Structure 1
Amino acid sequence: MTQLEVGGAQVRVFQTASELRSRGHAAEVVFLYQKRAVFNDEPKTILAGSKRPSKLGILAAIWKLRRMISAGGYDVIITNTAPANLIGNLVAFSAGLKNRVAVQTQPPSRISSSLSLADHIFGTVGVYDKIVANSGYTYHCFDRYSKAYRSRLKLIYNGLNPRLSSASKELCRKNLELPRDDFLFVNVGRLSVQKNQAELLQAMVDVPAVLAIAGAGELEQQLRQMAQDLGVADRVKFLGELTGDQIGELFKAADAFAFSSRWETFGLALLEAAAAGLPLVVSDLDVSREVLGAEMENSALFVSLDTPGAFSRAMSMVLNSSDLRDEMARAGRQRAEVFSIQNHVTELEKLVSA
C-alpha cells in the first residue's frame, strides 16, 4: 500500500495477510511510507520512513522494493490503491515476478488523469497480470477500458473481520468519555470532503442526539468551527483516530451509524457497523445499495445528498422508532456475513492459482 494510516483499506490488508498466514502462506505487508504511527503490533515494512517522501526518497523506496522482490523469493504481489498499483506492479514486472495483482479501490474519475492513463496502459499491456475490482460498482467503472484491460479484471468483494467489543455499552461509553444516556450516532472516516461529515453536523441541528466522529484529516479544524457556528458543538464529539479495540468499543457504545460519504467504492465502515447490529443512515450511493443489499427490507435508510434536510429526517426516524432499529439490526448482521475476510481470501487464492 501507499501510506500507513488508520483506514478501512489498511485494516483489510492486515486482516488479509493474517488470514493468509493462518492458511499456511507467508505474507508480508509493505507500505511506501508511514503517515501516522498506527498498527504498531502488526508486522510490516515501511520503505521510506515516517513522512511523505521527497521525489528522491520515492526513488530510494522503489529501489529498496526492487531489491526485496529480487531477493525475497516471492510468488505473488498484491497491490492496493492507484499509486501502489503502478509502483508495485512495475517493480515486480521488472524483477520477473509473474503473479501480479492490482486491486482497484478507486474509480478512474477519482484519481489524477496521469495516474488513470498509466493505470489503463499497465492493465492493457500486461504490467498488471490480474486486476481486482472490490465491488460491482467499481467493476463497471472500467467498462470503457480496453478489451485487454477488462480481460484481466475480476470482481472480488472486500472482506473484513468486524472489530467488535465484548464489553458492555456502559463501559464502552465510559472508556471513550461519551455521554452515558444520550442516543448516540457514530461516524467513522477521514475528516475530508469525500466523507462529508459536514452533512451530519448540519443534520444535528434538528436531531436531539449526540454524534461521535472517529477519524482525523485535513478538515478537522473547519468541522470543529462549523459545529460551533451551528450551535451543536456540545453534542458533537471529535474522537480523533482510534485503535482497532477502540473502534470496537465505539460500535458497541453506539445506537446508530451515520454515513454521509459523497462517493465510495465499497465502504468498509458500513460493513463493520452492519456487523455490529447498528441501524444505518447512509448516503444513497449505488455501491452502498449493492453492499448493504438494498433489496432486503430495512437494510438501511438511503438518503439523497441532493435533498435538504433528508439526513436529519432519516436520523430522526431511527431515533424515534425502536422497532425500526431492531429490524435494521437483524438485516445488517445478516448482510455482513456475506463479506467475511475468509470469503475474500478464498477468492484471492483462486485468482492467484488460476
Structure 2
Amino acid sequence: MTLHASPAADRRPIRLLTFTTLYPNPEQPQHGVFVENRLRHLLASGAAETRVVAPVPWFPLTAERFGTYGSYARVPRHEERHGIAIDHPRYFLPPKIGMVPAPLLLYWGARRAVDRLRRDGYDFDVIDAHYFYPDGVAAALLAQALGKPLVITARGTDINLIPQYDVPRRLIQWAAGRASAMITVCAALKTALSELDAPADRITVLRNGVDLRNFHPIDPGQARTRLGEAPGGLLLASVGHLIERKGHHHVIGALADLPQARLVVAGTGPERAALEALAQRLGVGDRVRFLGHVPHQELAQLYSAADALVLASSREGWANVLLEAMACGTPVVASDIWGTPEVVAAPEAGRLMPELSAVGVARAVTDLLAARPDRADTRRYAERFSWDETTAGQIAIFEKLRHAAPTARSR
C-alpha cells in the first residue's frame, strides 16, 4: 500500500461507497440490518458520508406468487433510509448455477450504478464492502477497475461455510489479497480468514455493537401483556430466520425436557411448516407460538417478556440478537460456536450449550435457571458493547486509506 501525504486543509468527511447485497429494503426490512446499524453509527460521528449500492437479483415479474423472486422485482431502484441514499441495481443470478459466476454478474450489474454516482459528482475515497462472497469479490473487481482502496468486512458464513467450495475459496483468497484492509466481527473469523492465507496484518477485529437506546429493559409483566402472553411461568424466545442452521428445531425439541416452559418464535422462512409439524409431533404444539415477522424496533418488547433468549445456530459470526436481548436485561442460552463465546463471556450474560442438540438446549436452560442472573447485571454487561469502539476503529481504517493507492497483489 502506497500512502500519500494528506493535505492539512482536507477536513471533509471520508467519502465511502458502501457495497453489499446485505442491506434492508422495503421488501426485506430485516435483511442485513446489522450492516445498516453499523453504518448509521459511523455516519452519526460526522467523520464519513456514504452512498449505498445494494444490488438485488433481477426478476421480471412482481406478483406475490413468485415468492422471494417476486419480492426482488418489487424493490425500488432508488430509495432513502434514515437519510442514506441507496441504489438497488439489478444483477442476473441464475437459480442453482449462480454461485460460481455470482461475483462477476454482481460486478456487471452494479458497475453502471457506480459509474453514474461518479458522473453525478460523488467520487468516493474508499469502497466499504460487506460479506466476502460474492460481494467482496465483486467489490475487488470494482476497486481494481476504478483504482480505489477497498475494505471488506467478513461476517460469518462467507468465511465459515462458503470457502468449503473450491472456486469460491480461491476467489475469496484473490479478493483478500487485493483488499487494502479487512474487518472481521469476531476474533474467530480473523483466525479463519488468516487460515485462508489472507494477510493477517491487514485484518482488524471490530465486533458489532448494540443500540442501547433502542434495546432497553421493559417491565417483563407489561411486555408479556403486550405480547399476548400470560404472566408467570417460564417463557423462552427464539429469534431468527426460519432456516435449518438457525436451530429453532433444537429449541422446540428441548421443550420435552422443560415441561414448565413456553416458547415464542419470531421470524419467517421456509422451515415454518416443518417446525410447526415438529412441535405437534412432539406433543408441545400448545406451548409453541409462532409470531412471524417482528419489526426490529419491536424486538425489545419480545426480549423483555422472555426469561431467556435461546440461539441454537450451527453457524454464526457475531449474533446481534444475543446483545440485543442482554441490553433488555434478558440472559441468553447459545451454541458454543465461532464468535458466540466472545459475546457470552460471563455468567450474567447467560450460558453456552454443552452440545448443539435439544438435550443441550434443555441442559443449558436448566443451568441458567438454577443461578439466574439479575436483569440489571445482564443489562450492565451489555453496556460494555456500545458502538463507540467499532466506530472509532472504522474511522481509523478509512482515514488511513482515503489518500492511499489501492493494494495490488497477485495470486
TM range (shorter): 0.7 to 0.9
- Shift in alpha-carbon separation, 1:314–1:167, aligned structure 2, 3 A: closer
Given the two structures, how large is their TM-score scaled by the length of structure 2?
0.74
Counterpart of 2:86, as a letter, is T
In 1, Cα distance between equivalents of 2:143 and 2:113: 9
Whether 1:2 and 2:24 are equivalent positions in the alignment is: no
8 Å Cα contact 1:160/1:272 also seen in 2: yes
Deviation at 1:139, TM superposition (A): 0.7
CA distance in 1, matches of 2:188, 2:385: 16
Distance 1:41 1:156, change over 3 A: closer
- 2:174 is equivalent to residue 121 of structure 1: yes
Q: 2: CA distance between counterparts of 1:169 and 1:23?
A: 34
Q: Which residue, out of 270, 274, 278, partners 1:218?
A: 270
Alignment partner of 1:287 out of 309, 331, 339 = 339
Amino acid at match of 1:200: V
| 1:258 is aligned to 2:299 | no
Evaluate the alpha carbon distance shift between residue 307 and residue 10 of structure 1 in structure 2; reply closer, same or farther with a 3 A threshold.
closer
Displacement of 1:11 in angstroms is: 2.5
The match for 1:343 is 389
Where does the alignment leave 5 or more consecutive residues of structure 1 unmatched? none
2:194 partner letter = D
**Contact preservation (8 Å) 1:101, 1:129:** yes
Question: Percent of aligned positions with the same letter in both sequences?
Answer: 22
Farther off after superposition, 19-28 or 339-348: 19-28
Between stretches 100-109 and 193-202, larger displacement belongs to 100-109
Do the aligned residues in 2 keep the contact of 1:47 with 1:61 (CA within 8 Å)?
Answer: no
SS in 1 for 2:34: helix
1:130 correspondence with 2:181: yes
The one-letter code sitting in structure 1 at the alignment partner of 2:42 is L
State the AA in 2 paired with 1:225: A
Distance 1:284-1:58 versus aligned 2 partners, 3 A rule: closer
Looking at structure 1, the residues matched to 155 and 107 of structure 2 have their Cα atoms a distance apart, in angstroms, of 24
Cα deviation digits, residues 62-91 of structure 1 (max 9, x gap): 233332453322122211112221222321
Q: Note the aligned Cα RMSD (angstroms).
A: 3.0
- How many corresponding residue pairs? 342
Larger RCO: Structure 1 or Structure 2 (Cα < 8 Å, ≥ 6 residues apart)? 2
- Map 1:25-64 to 2 at 5 A: 25-33=48-56, 41-42=81-82, 43-48=84-89, 58=106, 61-64=109-112
C-alpha displacement of 1:236: 0.9
Higher Rg of the two aligned structures: 2
Rate the CA distance shift 1:260–1:196 in 2: closer, same or farther, 3 A.
Answer: same
Q: Which amino acid in the other structure matches residue 176 of structure 2?
A: G
Cα 1:142/1:166, change in 2 over 3 Å: closer
Alpha-carbon shift at residue 292 of structure 1 (Å): 2.1
Distance 1:219 1:140, change over 3 A: same
Work out whether residues 66 and 95 of structure 1, in 8 Å CA contact, stay in contact via their aligned partners in 2: no
Worse overlay, 202-211 or 16-25? 16-25
Task: State the match for 2:408 in structure 1.
Answer: none
Structure 2 unaligned blocks of 5 or more: 1-19, 58-67, 99-103, 401-411
Tell me, what secondary structure is at the counterpart of 1:181?
Answer: coil
Cα displacement (A) at 1:45: 2.0
